[in-house]
Structure 1
Amino acid sequence: MEFQDVVRRRRMIREYADQPVDPAFVERALANAVRAPSAGFSQGWAFLVLDQPADIETFWDVTTTPGELPDSWLSGMRTAPVVIIPCSSKAAYLDRYAEPDKGWTDLDEARWPVPFWHMDAAMASLLVLLTAVDEGLGACFFGIPPEYDAATRSAFGVPDDFDPVGAITLGHRRPEEAASGSPTKRVRKPQVDVVHRGRWTS
């Protein structure tokens, strides 16, 4: 698929066909993810892959309220045969920039204008989303609510120096797939409204 077609077709898929995902695709998606840029080539990311039904069931159990009936979003998302949890490590970045070639002599987080560890993990996640489109599959990135962070860490052994930045569902698109989510209720902003050249204009 041409790159412009991949970008044009990319959208969040919230319900999947009852069809397994080829493990080779998951490996390609991860291989592309680690090609993302990272500050200082810190590469402070990690990816927890859940592709066994029991693990995926555990994920939904620990990230939702017990006994609560699933809404249409959750019912659709639970049909995904693969869940990837991208994580970021702030420590990897602080340590990297305290190395001699970077010149900082401390691990002060205040030196960072924005948390690049999260940004870089997000860019890696986007490459997973684009790879899914290129393969003709669907994917959706979504957040894990803070109140479920501890349970997620405990269930899957996520170490303290890594933070889940969200989760990505992967699967085959349904043949009768229809548009869903916020884009069905909100229009995409025109490019002219969000691009400013030379000086910010209202």
Structure 2
Amino acid sequence: MEYGEVVRRRRMVRNYDPDRPVPAEVVRRLLGYAVHAPSAGFSQGWGFLVLDAPGDREAFWAATTPDGMGESNWSRGMRRAPLIVVPHSNREVYLDRYAEPDKGWSDRRESRWPVPYWHIDAGFASLLMLLGAVDEGLGACFFGIPPERIPAYREAFDVPEDFTPIGAMTIGYRAEDRLSPSLRRGRRETPEVTHRGRWGAGY
């Protein structure tokens, strides 16, 4: 599939065919796309938890679903996904990397960072997986883990403290699903969100 078509087709999919698992070789390709993402200082401070066994997926939903949401339409469709990938960032890897001689910093102060690139880079990697899923004929959805559920998630999967889940992705073969009501807002046109030279007219 041409890159432009992949980008145009990408959308969040919230319902999956539970009887079609994602082949292992496809999962490996998606993870291979992720590790080609850019990262500050080539730090690569990410970690991906892959949940493809039914028991692991059920444990994920049990740990991360807020009370009262288990029977929602969103939850029912998402729970049918045969694959969940949880991308994590690792701040410590970045602080260590930029204290190395070739970077010129002599300490690990987080205040040196204008923004938390460890999260940004994990987001880059996640987007490559989302685009890769489209290219493989799959659907995918990136969503957040509620902050109050993160301790339960960590406990369920023995996630080390240095790794922070930045969200999660369901991946699988699409089933009939509804478009998000948020799409009624419409996609903003390029001139609305771009600027040339001084902050003024769009590109």
Structure-1-length-normalised TM-score: 0.95
2: CA distance between counterparts of 1:181 and 1:45? 32
| Aligned-partner Cα distance in 2 for 1:90–1:126 | 19
Measured in 2, the distance between the counterparts of 1:160 and 1:181 equals 36
Alignment match, 2:163: 162
**Per-residue CA shift, 1:38-64, capped at 9, x if unaligned?**
000000000000000000000000111
Render the CA deviation track for 1:79-132: whole Å, top value 9, x for unaligned.
Answer: 101000000000000000000000101110000000000000000000000000
Cα distance in structure 1, aligned partners of 2:196 and 2:69? 49
Question: In the alignment, which residue of structure 1 is the partner of 2:85?
Answer: 84
Task: Give 3-state SS (helix, strand or coil) of 1:83's partner.
Answer: strand
Q: Does 1:180 align with 2:180?
A: yes
Instruction: For 1:177 and 1:141, locate their aligned partners in 2 and report how far apart those are by CA, in whole Å.
Output: 16
Opposite residue 192 of structure 1, the aligned amino acid is P
Distance across 1 between alignment mates of 2:106 and 2:65: 43
* Structure 1 residue 178, shift from structure 2 partner: 4.2
- The alignment partner of 1:35 has SS state of coil
Residues 7 and 68 (structure 1 numbering): CA distance in 2 closer, same or farther, change over 3 Å?
A: closer
Query: How far did 1:21 drift?
Result: 1.0
Cα distance change, pair 122–187 in 1 and its aligned pair in 2 (3 A): same
Partner of residue 14, structure 2: 14
Residues 59-70 of structure 1 aligned to structure 2 (within 5 Å): 59-66=60-67, 68-70=69-71
Aligned to 2:49: 48
Distance in 2 of aligned mates of 1:181 and 1:27:
33
Q: Per the alignment, in what secondary structure is the counterpart of residue 168 of structure 1? A: strand
Are the counterparts in 1 of residues 61 and 79 from structure 2 also a CA contact under 8 Å? yes
Which residue of the partner structure matches residue 117 of structure 1? 118
Instruction: Percent identity, please.
Output: 60
Counterpart of 2:196, as a letter, is R
Q: After TM superposition, give the deviation of residue 179 of structure 1 in Å.
A: 2.5
Q: Which residue number in structure 2 is paired with residue 198 of structure 1? A: 197
Query: Cα–Cα, structure 1 residues 181 and 49, in superposed 2: closer, same or farther, change >3 Å?
Result: farther
Q: Does structure 1 conserve the Cα–Cα contact (< 8 Å) formed by 2:119 and 2:166?
A: yes
* Structure 1 unmatched runs, 5+: none
Residues paired across the two proteins, number: 200
Relative to structure 1, is the Cα distance of residues 186 and 21 closer, same or farther in structure 2, using a 3 angstrom cutoff?
A: same
Matches within 5 A, 1:17-32: 17-18=17-18, 19-32=20-33
Gaps of 5+ in 2: none
How far apart are residue 181 of structure 1 and its match? Answer: 4.5
CA distance in 2, matches of 1:6, 1:74: 26
What amino acid is aligned across from residue 40 of structure 2 in structure 1?
Answer: A
Counterpart secondary structure, 1:101: helix
What root-mean-square deviation, in Å, do the aligned CA atoms of Structure 1 and Structure 2 show?
1.2
> Hey, what does 1:107 align to over in structure 2?
108
Contact 2:14 2:141 in 1 (8 A): yes
Q: What amino acid sits opposite 2:4 in the alignment?
A: Q
